[in-house]
Structure 1
Amino acid sequence: MNKILPILFFMVFQVLSAQQIKILDADTGDPISNVAIYNLDRSKTIISDIDGMADLSLFSPTERIMFKHLSYQIRRSSRSQIWKQNNRLYMLMKAEQLDEVVMSVSKWEQQKKDVPNKIEVVGAKEVRFTNPQTSADLLANTGKVFVQKSQLGGGSPMIRGFATNRLLISVDGVRMNNAIFRGGNLQNVISIDPFTIKNTEIIFGPGSVIYGSDAMGGVMNFYTQNPQLATTDSLEISGEAAYRFSSANMENTVHADINLAKKKWGFLTSATYNNFGDLVMGKHGPQSYLRNYYVESRGEEDYKVLNENPRKQLPTGYDQINLMQKVLFSPNNNWSYNLGLHYSETTDYSRYDRLIRPNSQNNGLRSAEWFYGPQKWLLGNLQAKQRGRGIFYDGLKITAAYQFFEESRNDRGFNDAIRYTTQEKVDAISTNIDFENKRIGNLRLYYGGEYVYNKIGSIGSELNIITNETSESATRYPDGSTWQTLAGYMNAEYKAKPNFTLLSGLRYSHVWIDAIFDKTFYPFPFDDANLNNGALTGSVGFSWFPKTDLQITLNGSTGFRAPNINDVGKIFDSEPGAVVVPNPDLEPEYAYNIELGAHKNFNDKLMLRGAAYYTYLVDALVRREFQFGGQSQIDYKGELSQVLAIQNAAKAYVYGLEVGLEAFLANNFSIVSNLTLTEGLEEEEDGSDSPGRHVAPAFGDFHLIWKNQRLKADVFLNYNGRISYDNLAASERSKEYIYAVDHEGNPYSPSWHTLNFRSQYAFTQELKASMSVENITGQRYRPYSSGVVAAGTNLVLGLGYSF
């Protein structure tokens, strides 16, 4: 009898546990609550709980059971089938979700359908499927953001004719933009590890009400993974390991993360290592893109060497490491404390576009060396969050962050003994306090304040590679200069009717700059730059559903960018035949934007989206001819150069149209397509105009997607339009070496298209493999304004295991 009782108990336990199932998201593995579970005649109905658990004892083992949720595709199964799958049922998210939640517009969760701004959301499952090399490629894969690359270790987004320091990047709510973000192309976005991203939200158009200076053309918010807490009292361990290979640059990437969870504590550790080789371009395209020669240094001499494989872009390879540590403490349902530590570092990597510049005689190469030193980024971010009714708020976030940036530039002319180096370090401290208030009827208020402080360290040196002697030289920026801003904002969401929502906001920002110029190397006609500027920005818009399947949005907003240290204090930065000098007499530039959007749903079979916008920029900070000490040309590093400086010297306007569609032809088959058209001009003070530098060509994509529970496959076309010589910005016309040549001998940017294939297969819910073939036809193309030529035919393999 003593032996029989345990056996009976075990059998009863097995029967009961077989009736308990867990319902999970097929892509993320997260539990799904509030799933309606019923039989065919709806005589039996239950609902899954907050942990996705449901008891199926009400149903017979072979009875057909329906699983339905507003956000997921309907599943049909039975108790016996689910038992064979370890009592787990996976559901696929619907492609179109009108109740999708976004955080970027107010820093708090809002229904996307209530927001008048155009926002693109890229979730972790989409990142895993597209399997990007860098976060710049993640943005490009959306088909809605144009990305420029001066070198393989780069990626400078362009949104609606704006780029670089006119776009804002944030990580977990902390602005990455610092006081030396430049108007030229930036590569800071590659410091963000795609493996750690939970979701990315891209705001199209000004976002200055919430994000302040720089958020003129758009905002890119990267939200990284947070630690998971345990559902039981025991320690729960989970994690992931992944590998990626791409043939075009012989990439090898390894990633691992582990999550340790208790009920109140969570620890998430992540590490990624990338090894990128030299990039190989395609076979079919302009001959001028080939890398026929490169420079090789032998002893004290530089030699122009024939490249055995002209399609290999020498040198472009580099390595990178990304580390992340998150700690979450949640003592109760109202409070949580989240500490995030991010670190990224690259090896040296060449600025490829500078290495292919011909010399003035056009019979050789101008530079023997031009490379960036290691790009380093450290972010420490502590956030305290409270939920629950307070006297003045229903939600509170306090965020304190410290960031450290380090970068350097190193260049040496062909057969020049001197290597010039400038190194910059930025210490950035920021504090944000954000409130949410839901208590005033249909009115929701969001308000808060921000303080940001940047301090710049800048040194310059010259190394004689023959004698190995080092001496001091001019810095790139005034050493010890500071940039700081203090701001307050308020955003309001008013649901006038169930189908009509108003959103408006106001922000005041004040910016201070303090920089002292060292006259050791250059006789500056001024001693310092002390700027003290204020800016008031606002937005107002509505989201209206005249019918349940039609949405109309209208939004008007202003954005601004205060001059930073790069604008007022850049000391003698050279480009071919020109030199940029400081200008302490600058004021903020402002953008005024209006946007009309529409979204039409045809019986959940076809979704059409469109947005038209117009942006007007005044007091634009642009690079123009200048005088230094009364001279328009000066001798710089042995070359007579035109003097340029950043000035409030232009107006500009950009307008465009963005359209997209999703068509669901069957349960497993869909079509997705996007097209972006942008036009823009800069107006000079004399009334003349010229094409905008960061106005991308027409670009888009077209996808044929098939998927079931295990396999997802995507055959797609990427394409870019042509920019003729007449429509090429004046600053780009001087870069003949990166462009093709038309029949009149003028540089231009050709149109191009690529055919691609992407797939992902789930052997089990834990083990997934991916395979992609990019640029199948081997096109040789260079995206507009890019220095590096894009990859040729590229096989990408990935393998991931989660536990």
Structure 2
Amino acid sequence: MKFRIIIFFFILFSSLSRAQNIKILNKVTKEPVFGVAIYNVDKSKSAVSNFRGEADLDEFTDSEIIYFKHLSHVLKSLTKQQIKSNKVYLESNTQGLEQIVISASKFRQNKKDIPQKILSIDANQIQFANPQTSADLLENSGQVYIQKSQLGGGSPMIRGFSTNRLLITVDGVRMNNAIFRGGNLQNVISIDPFAIENAEVTLGAGSVIYGSDAIGGVMSFYTKKPKLSYTKSLLFNGNTQVRYASASQEKTGHFDFNLGYEKWALATSVSYNSFDDLFMGSHGPDDYLRPEFALATTTGDVIISNDNPLVQKYTGYDQLNLMQKVHFEPYEDLSFDFGLYYTTTSDIPRYDRLIRYKGETLRSAEWSYGPQNWFMSNFQVTKLSSKSNLYDKIKATLAYQNFQESRYDRDFQSSTRNVREEAVDAYSFNLDLEKRISPKTQFFYGAEYVFNKVKSIGAEEDIVNNTATKTVSRYPNGASWQSAAIYSSIKYKPNPKFVFQSGLRFNYVGSEADFTENNMYLNLPFDTSRNESEALTGTAGISWSPNQTIQWKLNASSAFRAPNIDDVGKVFDSEPGSVVVPNEHLRPEYAYGGEIGLKLNFNDLLVFDMSTYYTYLDNALVRRDFTLNGESEIVYDGELSNVQAIQNASKAWIYGYEIGMKLAISNHLKFTSQYSIIGGTEVEGNIEVPIRHVAPNFGNSHLIWSSNNLKFDLFANYNGSISYNQLAPSEIEKDYIYALDTNGNPYSPSWYTLNFRTQYQVNKSISIMASLENITDQRYKTYSSGIAAAGRNLILTLKYSI
């Protein structure tokens, strides 16, 4: 009997020893790789790694070749006999997503080869930063400055440029449309940070690849791509996430899941955010406090004393984000992608307008943006290998977008509510190709066509009688804007140390507008407008690494922004007592710039990344005083207003310096720091004045400790001041959003925050993230912002993955 028991345990032990449970890890980070497809030559045997990177190879024989395939790693083949210590290491084909970029040419390139400075933000960084919106995601990079007029906002500033001088793309599709304005824009918050796989920010001009608007930079967002199983087995994974933030009483829920088959995959993402009124900090300028607010009652508008002046009434809003993507890959080098994206918000109170006074009384009883809706559908075909003489790689993208926005306002104790509603239908087609001419030379080229159609209405509502009458619309209803372009770029890499890249783009832009309806109210000297312009832009640069320690980058470029419908045909109140009217005589503005970068890498233990840049903006499109039929003032929304218009009336000079540092103190502890210095002036009349969107000096420093399941980040954000004499004239006019200096003049004070965040992986399914922001409870506003930033803010997040 004892002999039989011994034989039984011997057989059991032998069978267990033959079973092979392996762990698949990233070769560089040593982190487990989830969702690796494991199969033999004919795919008759297969397995998929779990969240710990583990897989069972028991059904494979010792001698047969086993393939390990993952979307973001290089395909690897081994036999069981070749696997050492039950671990398989895969090399990332994105090199950590910090070395490979897409936005520079629409195809994957080594980041080291690009003459321009490009920031890369990957999914792990996004998850750890845990941003409320995509604007906050950009701000966490430390090199993009964010302005906010309200809680539901976030207008990026890059190297002294913002709004319609910056370009936003989502999965390669241009988001900028015909009514992107020179005033602060909130469209970036329509992009769900939970759905983003990685983001790239090109610092500086990008007109050769992206055309009009890409003067100061390009923000490229790439959403999560459906993952295939590459086997006959189903690959299923999903995530559920809930978040709470104390400063705004934020309540956020999110879920996503992936269904992956051998050739088909689907990815679904849903997010919902609910924000209450935002609390500001306790220590700072009293000018930011909210002592009272207007309230509409059944008997009329009244002024209510705010029980807690730290509460910014009214700022809360809700947002819903949906995404559905389908991926079909019949062959390894051919794929089809289809995506649907939809974002909607509740009404968003515009806080900076609600705190304006007219004399001793609040000016507005109501001022809100209506729901901000964005819908996009895109279809993309990509072929990554071809024997054609014309191309090796080709990508075609067809997209449709619909933008809907509105705004309504009513003066205190007025019965008239002013309503403006806008919608834009945007169609686009892109064709991008790559051809390797020789082992040292690559050629990129393509074409683009964009067409926008604008709908716009204006109305005055009588809230007492519940009636509405038509009035002047913000834009000429039915206006159209279109752009057609061809571009080419060449990359010459004679050796691993030196790369030269250069490119050209020719662009035609045209717009048409009919002002007949608005002329019932404005009496413009023209009924129709047709604006056409052509632009030729170019870039040239080098990347040179004489040794492992030093890398030099040098780049020169030109960029342009053609007038859009917002420039040519807008009618709106730019500020109290001023109204902007249409101007059909506009030409493109051009930017000419240069950049020098130096990176010093001492064995990855200490890294310095420095760059300096200079940009000259010619024929700048700016808002200036104007006359309409010889009159410098007209009545608009019941108020006598100074007439202004967008004009080619300025020149600007912008310059700056950026320095970053990374220090690996130990295997688990590192220190990083980033600082940006920006300056510039523009011509107004015959004098040079500060530029509106030049941010103050700003930066951050992080002390990060991480182990297998735990990560800590103690960090500081800091921001310089802008004195009264350094404020742009248009900012001085908005004194109600600024603190007052000892002379009673508006200025933007310096500020800092101390912050702490942590992430703990409880097990393979559960992770917890917690942050305590603005620990010292500072009361501050980022430059040009109408709303004060959050005070001390506790953020708790729970994530469950399957």
Structure 1-normalised TM-score?
A: 0.92
**Superposed displacement of residue 7, structure 1:** 11
Distance 1:470 1:132 in 2: 41
The one-letter code matched in structure 1 to 2:597 is G
The one-letter code matched in structure 2 to 1:529 is S
**Superposed displacement of residue 525, structure 1:** 1.1
Distance 1:581 1:572 in 2: 7
Choose the corresponding residue for 2:495, options 486, 491, 497.
497
CA displacement, residues 485-505 of structure 1 (integer Å, 9 cap, x when unaligned): 000000111002220000111
Equivalent in the alignment of 2:227: 228
Alignment partner of 1:642 is 2:642: yes
The one-letter code matched in structure 2 to 1:317 is G
User: Kindly tell me: are residues 371 and 172 of structure 1, through their superposed partners in 2, closer, same or farther at Cα, counting changes over 3 Å?
Assistant: same
**Superposed displacement of residue 440, structure 1:** 2.2
Pairing 1:592-611 to 2, within 5 Å after superposition = 592-611=592-611
The one-letter code matched in structure 2 to 1:26 is E
Equivalent in the alignment of 2:654: 654
Distance 2:97 2:274 in 1: 40
**Superposed displacement of residue 683, structure 1:** 1.6
Choose the corresponding residue for 1:22, options 21, 24, 27.
24
CA displacement, residues 89-145 of structure 1 (integer Å, 9 cap, x when unaligned): xxxx99xx7981101110000000010100000001100000000000000011110
Equivalent in the alignment of 1:706: 705
The one-letter code matched in structure 2 to 1:691 is P
Distance 2:469 2:712 in 1: 58
Alignment partner of 1:341 is 2:346: no
Distance 1:215 1:354 in 2: 29
CA contact (8 A) 2:571 2:579 kept: no
Distance 2:66 2:140 in 1: 38
User: Kindly tell me: are residues 13 and 378 of structure 1, through their superposed partners in 2, closer, same or farther at Cα, counting changes over 3 Å?
Assistant: farther
Distance 1:802 1:164 in 2: 37
Distance 1:69 1:548 in 2: 24
**Superposed displacement of residue 642, structure 1:** 1.3
User: Kindly tell me: are residues 442 and 47 of structure 1, through their superposed partners in 2, closer, same or farther at Cα, counting changes over 3 Å?
Assistant: farther
**Superposed displacement of residue 441, structure 1:** 2.7
Equivalent in the alignment of 2:61: none
Distance 2:185 2:489 in 1: 30
Equivalent in the alignment of 1:469: 467
Equivalent in the alignment of 1:82: none
Equivalent in the alignment of 2:458: 460
Alignment partner of 1:105 is 2:110: no
Pairing 1:739-778 to 2, within 5 Å after superposition = 739-778=738-777
CA contact (8 A) 2:633 2:643 kept: yes
Distance 1:423 1:161 in 2: 30
Tell me, what secondary structure is at the counterpart of 2:106? coil
**Superposed displacement of residue 10, structure 1:** 8.2
Distance 1:431 1:118 in 2: 27
CA displacement, residues 475-525 of structure 1 (integer Å, 9 cap, x when unaligned): 100000000000000011100222000011100000010001022222111
Equivalent in the alignment of 2:208: 209
Tell me, what secondary structure is at the counterpart of 1:353? helix
Structure 1: runs of 5 or more not aligned? 36-45, 73-92
Equivalent in the alignment of 1:779: 778
Equivalent in the alignment of 1:562: 562
Structural RMSD (CA): 2.4
User: Kindly tell me: are residues 502 and 32 of structure 1, through their superposed partners in 2, closer, same or farther at Cα, counting changes over 3 Å?
Assistant: farther
Equivalent in the alignment of 1:526: 526
CA contact (8 A) 2:212 2:559 kept: yes
Structure 2-normalised TM-score?
A: 0.92
Tell me, what secondary structure is at the counterpart of 1:789? coil
Distance 2:98 2:744 in 1: 54
Equivalent in the alignment of 1:85: none
Distance 2:32 2:276 in 1: 32
Distance 1:452 1:114 in 2: 30
CA contact (8 A) 1:195 1:255 kept: yes
Alignment partner of 1:366 is 2:366: no
The one-letter code matched in structure 2 to 1:790 is A
User: Kindly tell me: are residues 433 and 570 of structure 1, through their superposed partners in 2, closer, same or farther at Cα, counting changes over 3 Å?
Assistant: same
CA displacement, residues 550-590 of structure 1 (integer Å, 9 cap, x when unaligned): 10000001110000000010024342121111111000000
Tell me, what secondary structure is at the counterpart of 1:629? coil
Tell me, what secondary structure is at the counterpart of 1:331? strand
The one-letter code matched in structure 1 to 2:179 is I
CA displacement, residues 709-748 of structure 1 (integer Å, 9 cap, x when unaligned): 1111100000000000000000000111110111111100
Choose the corresponding residue for 1:375, options 372, 376, 380.
372
User: Kindly tell me: are residues 32 and 141 of structure 1, through their superposed partners in 2, closer, same or farther at Cα, counting changes over 3 Å?
Assistant: farther
**Superposed displacement of residue 635, structure 1:** 2.4
Distance 1:213 1:636 in 2: 32
Distance 2:551 2:210 in 1: 26
Distance 1:773 1:297 in 2: 36
Distance 1:636 1:151 in 2: 25
CA contact (8 A) 1:320 1:345 kept: yes
**Superposed displacement of residue 32, structure 1:** 11
Distance 1:27 1:304 in 2: 59
Tell me, what secondary structure is at the counterpart of 2:135? helix
**Superposed displacement of residue 6, structure 1:** 13
CA contact (8 A) 2:24 2:33 kept: no
Which has the larger displacement, 560-569 or 293-302?
A: 293-302
CA contact (8 A) 2:420 2:457 kept: yes
Distance 2:633 2:216 in 1: 34
Equivalent in the alignment of 2:395: 397
CA displacement, residues 218-277 of structure 1 (integer Å, 9 cap, x when unaligned): 000000001010132122211111111100000011000111111010011110011111
User: Kindly tell me: are residues 297 and 434 of structure 1, through their superposed partners in 2, closer, same or farther at Cα, counting changes over 3 Å?
Assistant: same
User: Kindly tell me: are residues 408 and 446 of structure 1, through their superposed partners in 2, closer, same or farther at Cα, counting changes over 3 Å?
Assistant: same
Identity of aligned residues (%): 50
User: Kindly tell me: are residues 268 and 629 of structure 1, through their superposed partners in 2, closer, same or farther at Cα, counting changes over 3 Å?
Assistant: same
Distance 2:512 2:265 in 1: 42
Alignment partner of 1:546 is 2:546: yes
User: Kindly tell me: are residues 301 and 608 of structure 1, through their superposed partners in 2, closer, same or farther at Cα, counting changes over 3 Å?
Assistant: same
Tell me, what secondary structure is at the counterpart of 1:547? coil
CA contact (8 A) 1:550 1:598 kept: yes
The one-letter code matched in structure 1 to 2:741 is D
Distance 2:23 2:78 in 1: 5
User: Kindly tell me: are residues 631 and 670 of structure 1, through their superposed partners in 2, closer, same or farther at Cα, counting changes over 3 Å?
Assistant: same
Which has the larger displacement, 491-500 or 126-135?
A: 491-500
CA contact (8 A) 1:701 1:717 kept: yes
Distance 1:200 1:229 in 2: 22
User: Kindly tell me: are residues 112 and 32 of structure 1, through their superposed partners in 2, closer, same or farther at Cα, counting changes over 3 Å?
Assistant: farther
User: Kindly tell me: are residues 522 and 439 of structure 1, through their superposed partners in 2, closer, same or farther at Cα, counting changes over 3 Å?
Assistant: same
Structure 2: runs of 5 or more not aligned? 1-5, 39-52, 54-64, 71-75
CA displacement, residues 751-787 of structure 1 (integer Å, 9 cap, x when unaligned): 0000000110111232211000000000000110000
The one-letter code matched in structure 1 to 2:465 is T
Equivalent in the alignment of 1:509: 507
Distance 1:548 1:99 in 2: 17
Distance 1:616 1:657 in 2: 16
Distance 1:29 1:320 in 2: 31
CA contact (8 A) 1:22 1:53 kept: no
User: Kindly tell me: are residues 196 and 261 of structure 1, through their superposed partners in 2, closer, same or farther at Cα, counting changes over 3 Å?
Assistant: same
**Superposed displacement of residue 71, structure 1:** 6.8
**Superposed displacement of residue 19, structure 1:** 5.1
CA contact (8 A) 1:28 1:125 kept: no
CA contact (8 A) 1:19 1:56 kept: no
Distance 1:393 1:606 in 2: 41
Equivalent in the alignment of 1:43: none
**Superposed displacement of residue 288, structure 1:** 1.0
The one-letter code matched in structure 2 to 1:645 is A
CA contact (8 A) 1:725 1:748 kept: yes
**Superposed displacement of residue 50, structure 1:** 4.0
Distance 1:238 1:59 in 2: 27
Choose the corresponding residue for 2:404, options 398, 403, 406.
406
Tell me, what secondary structure is at the counterpart of 1:520? helix
User: Kindly tell me: are residues 774 and 551 of structure 1, through their superposed partners in 2, closer, same or farther at Cα, counting changes over 3 Å?
Assistant: same
Distance 1:69 1:234 in 2: 21
Distance 1:718 1:537 in 2: 37
**Superposed displacement of residue 469, structure 1:** 0.8
